[in-house]
Amino acid sequence: MKKIFISVSIALSLFADLSAADQETEEPVFSGASYQCKIFDRYRKDSGFMKLTADGKTLLISNRIYASCKGPDGKNIALAEQPDPQYKWEDNILTNEKFLIPRNAKDDAEKYAKISRKITFGQNKITVEITIKNLRDIILPNTWQVFTEYLALVTDSVKGMRAEGLLPDDQKISTVIPRKYDRKKWGFNQYIKQLNLTDSEKIDMTVTPASDCNLRLNHYGGKSMELKIIPSVRKTELDRKAGTETKIGFAIEFSKP
């Protein structure tokens, strides 16, 4: 129940990003052959996947690292990526550096880790490389509350699309994203190693994590769904010393249905 509460809280935070992004802005946009991505938003004072669209539909909004760690009293501390308006844009590559701090903390809060992100935009493919470097010793609570990249998938834009996932054993799971959410019929709350979304007409988007990462697509019936990229971490690797680096990578590719 506690894990569900944390995920719903994150989903609400991502939806706050969605509401801000609906405002009309004239911010930098990369236009590929099959998609457009706004890379900076002055309202949220942040950079990254501010608004990823295809065929006029907003598919993804916001990408942030979330995690939990154990505090001195043994209780979990929720951590979140701190927005930062500073970024570098050169040719088709966006780079930025941000920090991981306790959620809802002030800007001058203690920094737990440094996040370096590189996003390479191609005509039909986006490649994301993330390095998270501990600035202090961190003990992760368990193997599912590790450093995780969260992307908000806009429910209204993808409902009615077919979602097909590839399980770690190469078995396929498939469903149509329901227009009315039914928790009992949602079968994607498990690890997958690839996700394809298509409307069979104009949009075909495939998300593939790096070989040492997994995906999860969580749906709670809200206005955004969680697309999570999770690095594989063993139980013996939960105690992570200052200077330890965690790598997260994934690609988003568009093709013709």
Structure confidence by residue, pLDDT tens digits, 212-253: 999 999 998 889 999 999 999 999 999 999 999 999 999 999
Q: Which residue has the tokens 């997260």?
A: 248
- Rounded to an integer, what distance in angstroms lies between the CA atom of residue 71 and that of residue 83? 23
Q: How far apart are alpha carbons 149 and 100 in whole angstroms?
A: 12
pLDDT in tens, 180-221: 888 877 878 789 999 999 999 999 999 999 999 999 999 988
71: how many CB neighbours lie within 10 A of its CB? 11
CATH number where 52 lies: 2.70.98
The total number of structural domains that make up the chain? 1
Amino acid occupying residue 111: K
* pTM score above 0.75: yes
Contact call for residues 85 and 47 (beta carbons, < 8 A)? yes
Containing structural domain, residue 225? 2-254
Taking the C-alpha atoms of residue 236 and residue 250, their distance in angstroms, rounded to an integer, is: 24
